[in-house]
Structure formats: structure tokens, C-alpha cells
Amino acid sequence: MMTTTSAAITLDQLQPGQIATVTTLNSTGLNRRRLLDLGILPGTAITVEMRSPLGDPTAYRVRGSVIALRREQSREIEITLPASVSESE
């Protein structure tokens, strides 16, 4: 089990190079289902792959694939960062 920082942040605040774990999805309806389909659910490890040249959307690496999400979506995904960045998945 990973130890986590106390302050919960949302996915849009995740910086490149950090590995985070999804804790809560605040999205609803079809959007929530899409995220679940793509394997973005509580407990999933997620990293930033790259940002669009215009600053949004951001592409995230999740379960081996690269998925681009707009900021309004990533804002609805709560994550935690491990206290010390570990290389385990």
C-alpha cells in the first residue's frame, strides 16, 4: 500500500513526472461511464503524458494507453500523490 499525502487534489493539478492514484470520480452520467470504460476508476494509477500546445487538453497514461481529457473533466477526478514517489505501479 502506498502512503499518501493528506490534501486531496484533482487530476488537472497533476504535474508531468508524478504518479498519482485515482480516489474519487465526481463526474456523472455518460461521462462517468466513459471514464470507467477507459479504466479510470478509484485505485487506478495515472500519469501525465503530455499537454496540448494550447495548454488543454492533457494526455494521461492510464492502464497502458494514452487518453486525452479536457480540463473540465480532469477537474472532476480526485487523486492522491504518494508521499514519496515510488516506481511501483
Partner 1 sequence: MITQTETLPTTACATCPAFNSAQLRKLGINTEDWDYVVALAGNPNTGKSTVFNALTGLRQHVGNWPGKTVARAEGGFRYDDANYKLVDLPGTYSLLSTSVDEEIARDFILFGQPDVTIVVVDATRLERNLNLCLQILEITDRVVVALNLMDEANRHGLKVDERHLMRQLGVPVVPMVARRGEGIPELLSAVRQVVRGEFAVRPHRIQYRDLQIENAVNNLVGQLDARFPGLPNARWVALRLLEGDESIEHALAEGTLGDLQRGEAIKSQNERMTMGVVGYGD
Partner 2 sequence: MATDTSANDILQTATQLRAQIGGEQYHDKLMEAIYTDAAQIADQSVSREGQRSRLGFDQLLDKALTHPVFGFIVMGLMFLGVFWLTIAGANIPSAILSDLLLGTVYGWLHTLATALSFPLWLSGLLIDGIYLATAWVVAVMLPPMAIFFPLFTLLEDFGYLPRVAFNLDRMFHKAGAHGKQSLSMMMGFGCNAAGVIATRIIDSPRERLIAIITNNFSICNGRWPTLILMGTIFIGATAPPALASFFAAASVVTIAVLGIFVTLLVSAFLSRSWLKGEASVYSLELPPYRPPRILQTLYTSIIDRTLIVLWRAVTMAAPAGAVIWLSSNIYIGDASIAGHLVNLLNPVGVLLGLNGVILVAYIVAIPANEIVIPTVLMLTLTLGRNIAGAQAGVMMELDEGQVYTVLTQVGGWTLLTAVNLMLFSLLHNPCSTTILTIWKETKNVRWTVVATILPIVLGVGVTFTTATIARLLGWV
Q: Tell me which residues touch partner 1 (CB under 8 A).
A: 30, 33-34, 36-39, 63-65
Helix (H, G, I), strand (E, B) or coil at 32: helix
Does 69 contact partner 2 by CB under 8 A? yes
How far does the chain reach from its first CA to its final CA, in angstroms? 11
Which entry of partner 1, partner 2, none binds 9, CB below 5 to 8 A by partner kind?
Answer: none
Under a CB-based contact definition with an 8 Å cutoff, are residues 13 and 77 in contact?
no
Positions in 28-57 near partner 2 (CB under 8 A): 28, 30-39, 41-44, 49-57
Alpha carbon separation from 36 to 21, 29, 55, 58, 61 (Å, rounded):
14, 11, 25, 18, 15
* Interface with partner 2 (CB under 8 A): 25, 27-28, 30-39, 41-44, 49-57, 59, 61, 63, 65-70, 72-73
